[in-house]
Amino acid sequence: MQVALKQIRLDLKKEGMSISVIREINSLFTLHHDNLVRLYDVAVGRRLHKIFLVMEYCEQDLATLLDNMQNKFTEGQVKCILKQLFEGMKYLHDSFIIHRDVKVGGVVAGK
């Protein structure tokens, strides 16, 4: 199984991990939805400040697709992408989570 690693940026001037990072990791562990990327584990590197999220691997995101498109999306494709985005956002909102940083690079195509 292929996975993606996302490094958590820690403020080395402060001790420990910020509460917002801990909250995000906890939320990602508890959320399970077809339109959200899944968090499998948290890994620590050779040094304690090297912390990685082990996440579901997705071949491309919407930003990559947009950058490499030969033709415009069809109306049906746009509807499908928006439906997936709105279903994922609804699940988050139903779970009392507000995503404050939705951007094209974070939207996974075909998820």
**Partners of 44 in beta bridges:** 51
> Where in the sequence numbering do the catalytic residues fall?
101
| CA–CA gap between residue 70 and residue 78 (Å, rounded) | 15
8 Å CB contact between 55 and 5: yes
Please list, residue by residue across 77-101, b when 16 or more beta carbons sit within 10 angstroms of its beta carbon and e when fewer do: eeeebeebbeebbebbeeeeeeeee
